[in-house]
Amino acid sequence: MHLTSCLVALSILPALVVGQLSGSVGPLTSHATKTAKKTCNVLNYGAVADKTTDLGPPLASAWAACKTGGTVVIPSGDYALSTWVTLNGGSAWALQLDGIIYRTGTAGGNMIFIRNTDDFELFSSTSKGAIQGFGYEFHKDKLYGARILRLYKITDFSVHDVALVDAPAFHFSLDTCTNGEVYNMAIRGGNEGGLDGIDVWSNNIWIHDVMVTNKDECVTVKSPSKNILIENIYCNWSGGCALGSLGADTAISDVTYKNVYTWSSNQMMMIKSNGGSGSVSNVVFENFIGHGNAYSLDIDQYWASMSAVAGDGVQLSDVTFKNWKGTCASGTSRGPIKVICADGAPCSGVTISDFAMWTESGSKEWYSCRSAFGSGGCLRSGSSHTSYSVSTTTLSAAPSGYSAASMKENLQTAFGTTASIPIPTIPTSFYPGATPYSKLAGA
């Protein structure tokens, strides 16, 4: 093998042996190989780093020249994007974003939409590349705009070492993708719903070493999804991670969340639905640390924020929660264990073990369960999974071992919706004591 091929093989090796993945992830050839074949610098196609000239047409032209093998380069500098770019097709190409793209257009849709391609990489060689969405310009008037980045039907790819900031709507969506790796990213949005961090509905995806700040989804799996591994995630004043919302014909299986640190967020993990059908099976939530969150472990199949969907409920089975530590904001207002399952499709095979969380206010907390079977917390045992009404267990003493480490980058206040959000530096740590799988490219 050539050296570049060896490096690619080494880079995907961890994905072959850990978690729920079904095979290798990431691009088939390195960006160095693509760059050596052909380089298409947007400056040669009319781009100007003046924060005024529209980058859209030059980026599309550079991509057209490199889409069958090569690297499109956006060098360091400040660029304006006033017309959105859809890059549809191509193979064995990379997009090197070393500059900063500032949204100046006002359309909806997707600022950058990449679809129907394979062997693809989007990255910053300096770890300083970013897209600034200036979403506050919409949100101050209670409006929404475009997503920042959407990938659709991409195979064998990676996205890494870039920051996505203040999206007018969602920050990053992975839709019907396969064999992908997402890592070393910082996402920072306003304190408002509808500004999701990373949403994924795909197959064989590894997301790791990512920090998200927003008011909505941190890193969330939606249906349909299979073979998803999510680890070393830092939800830093966010909505928190989730599965859902789940509706008709849900199909989610073989998902692992591992090493998730959640600070001052809505929840540490939520599985949310209201009616619906289909199933969620073989999912694991391991090594969670939380501080100051409203909810902690939260399964809610009567979620009031979602309109009811036809069906008896999504069937949850073989769901494991293991090694959860830390504190919740108020154990009497919102207890750290809430497993509320659908009466028409009781949960089965739920396991809660090594769970030690305590309240930050007051001296009591509660666990609540409904139509939920398994072991741990307030779950009922037995093989007869018959629906039952809400059952509550009250704890009057702190469980042993609940104390957990904190991260130094914890935000003390949320970002609002009326002023620009600064572009963050990508962290070098995303979970206490865990070393990121890959060093920052800029290092």
What would the pLDDT profile of 153-200 be if each residue is shown by its tens digit?
999 999 999 999 999 999 999 999 999 999 999 999 999 999 999 999
Tell whether the model's pLDDT for residue 13 goes beyond 70. no
Last residue of a domain, one of 234, 255, 285: 234
Tokens of 11: 């880079």
Query: Does any domain span residue 7?
Result: yes
Query: Does any domain span residue 159?
Result: yes
Are 268 and 297 a contacting pair, CB within 8 Å?
yes
First to last CA, the chain: 26
Residues 260 and 161 in one domain: no
Residues 242 and 106 in one domain: no
Helices (H) and strands (E) in the chain, counts: 4, 25
Query: Does any domain span residue 205?
Result: yes
Write down the pLDDT at residue 17. 36
Torsion of CA 192, 151, 273, 324, to 10 degrees: -80
Tell whether the model's pLDDT for residue 23 goes beyond 50. yes
Task: Tally the domains of the chain.
Answer: 2
- State the average pLDDT for the chain: 95
Confidence of residue 20 (pLDDT cuts 50, 70, 90): confident
Residues 15 and 39 in one domain: yes
CATH of the domain at 386: 2.160.20.10
Write down the pLDDT at residue 9. 39
Write down the pLDDT at residue 6. 34
Domain span including residue 221: 1-234
The reply to whether 31 belongs to the active site is: no
As a whole number of angstroms, the distance between CA 228 and CA 256 comes to 6
Residues 242 and 225 in one domain: no
For the residues 336-346, what does the mean pLDDT come to?
Answer: 98
As a whole number of angstroms, the distance between CA 135 and CA 101 comes to 13
Which distant-in-sequence residues (6+ apart) come within 8 Å of 263 by Cβ? 234, 235, 236, 237, 290, 291, 292, 293, 406, 407, 410, 411
Are 47 and 34 a contacting pair, CB within 8 Å?
no
Query: Does any domain span residue 441?
Result: no
Tell whether the model's pLDDT for residue 15 goes beyond 60. no
What SS3 state is found at 249?
A: coil
Quick one: DSSP state of residue 54?
B
Residues 337 and 352 in one domain: yes
As a whole number of angstroms, the distance between CA 368 and CA 391 comes to 6
Q: Tokens 């910053």 appear where?
A: 124
Query: Does any domain span residue 425?
Result: no
Helix (H) or strand (E) holding 325, with range, is strand 315-328
Residues 209 and 255 in one domain: no
Last residue of a domain, one of 219, 234, 249: 234
Write down the pLDDT at residue 322. 98
Helix (H) or strand (E) holding 16, with range, is helix 3-17
Q: Tokens 């490219």 appear where?
A: 441
Last residue of a domain, one of 189, 206, 234: 234
Residues 355 and 378 in one domain: yes
pLDDT, tens digit (0-9, with 9 covering 90-100), for 381-408: 988 999 999 999 999 999 999 999 999 9
pTM of the model: 0.95
For the residues 23-47, what does the mean pLDDT come to?
Answer: 98
Tell whether the model's pLDDT for residue 11 goes beyond 50. no
Residues 244 and 226 in one domain: no
Residues 80 and 136 in one domain: yes
The rounded radius of gyration (Å) of the Cα atoms in the chain is 22
How many Cβ atoms from other residues are within 10 Å of residue 418's Cβ? 11
For the residues 284-293, what does the mean pLDDT come to?
Answer: 98
As a whole number of angstroms, the distance between CA 417 and CA 420 comes to 8
Using a pLDDT cut of 70, give the percent of the chain over it.
Answer: 96
Residues 260 and 212 in one domain: no
Are 25 and 179 a contacting pair, CB within 8 Å?
yes
For the residues 232-259, what does the mean pLDDT come to?
Answer: 98
Q: Which of 160, 171, 291, 385 is catalytic?
A: 291
Quick one: DSSP state of residue 220?
E
pLDDT, tens digit (0-9, with 9 covering 90-100), for 129-150: 999 999 999 999 999 999 999 9
Are 144 and 169 a contacting pair, CB within 8 Å?
yes
Residues 94 and 29 in one domain: yes
pLDDT, tens digit (0-9, with 9 covering 90-100), for 87-139: 999 999 999 999 999 999 999 999 999 999 999 999 999 999 999 999 999 99
As a whole number of angstroms, the distance between CA 90 and CA 393 comes to 57
Q: Which of 119, 196, 216, 300 is catalytic?
A: 216
Are 369 and 346 a contacting pair, CB within 8 Å?
no
3-state secondary structure 353-403: EEEEEEECCCCCEEEEEECEEEECCCCECCCCCCCCCCEEEEECCCCCCCC
Residues 230 and 349 in one domain: no
Query: Does any domain span residue 435?
Result: no
